[in-house]
Amino acid sequence: MVTPKHILGNFDEALSSLRNNVLMMAGLAERTLDRAIRGLLQRDDNLCVTAIADDEEIDQLEKQIDKDGVDVLLRFQPVASDLRRVVAAMKLSPNVERIADQATNIARRARKLNKHAPLPEVDLIVPIQAHAMSMFKDSIDAFTREDVELGRAVVARDKDLDLMNKKAGRLLTDRMAEDPKQLRGYLNLIFISRCLERVGDHATNIAEDAVYAAAAEDIRHQTATVAT
């Protein structure tokens, strides 16, 4: 359905600028997370350093989105779907920023791991990263396309990620007991797995905001009944 133009051209521009900044921020966070994970898997310190450096730009975008959102509220007093879009943009940007923070944490721990001999257990991270990343991408898609069903599906997938993280945690703890010399390395992998689990939590929050923006429905804090 085509949304008719607002009677104030400035309003559509302001709303579009807000949305573009959210998308740009999400794109940067996705790239940072990708670089951090590749830095880990490919043992590439440069990628890790770049991922850490990217965080600054994302922080600035978060502030810009807040500023633009307040500006739109102040100047245009939007209502209905417009209000929900502005509120959702302002609510989801801190989640994107925290995803970038998790990427930075992963990059820092990857640099520590890169100083020592490679651990084959790093492969445990690959499926967790793939799941977390797909949740993140889909949550942003749900917001962009106002796709309520996709938003709901992202929320439902968080349970799987929690289980994957728990399973990896147990395995790595066992390895710590078996090989105490690599204790720090395994501990770093446990923390990286937890960072990715947190990425899933933030993606869930974003998906919930996307559903609210599209359908005015608050799906937070509901017992998951959707089959995964």
Q: How many residues bind another protein (CB under 8 A)?
A: 17
Given a contact cutoff of 8 angstroms between Cβ atoms, the answer to whether 211 and 152 are in contact is yes
Residue 38 or 91 with smaller CB distance to another protein: 91
**C-beta of 5: minimal distance to another protein in Å?**
7
Question: Is 6 one of the binding residues for another protein (CB under 8 A)?
Answer: yes
Listed ranges 5-13, 139-147, 149-157, 172-180: which one lies at the site for another protein (CB under 8 A):
5-13
Tokens 């579009």 locate to: 16
Helix boundaries (H) for the chain:
9-41, 45-76, 80-114, 125-145, 148-178, 183-215
Given the complex with another protein, which of 78 and 185 has the nearer CB atom? 78
Residues 20-79 that bind another protein (CB under 8 A): 76-79
Q: Is 2 in the site for another protein (CB under 8 A)?
A: no
DSSP state of 42: T
Tokens of 53: 């450096």
Nearer to another protein, 6 or 38 (CB): 6
Options 183, 216, 224, 226; binder of another protein; rule CB under 8 A = 216
Report the interhelical angle of 80-114 vs 183-215 (nearest 10°).
170
Residue 89 CA from chain centroid, whole number = 14
| CB of 125 vs another protein, minimal distance in Å | 41
* Amino acid making up residue 133: M
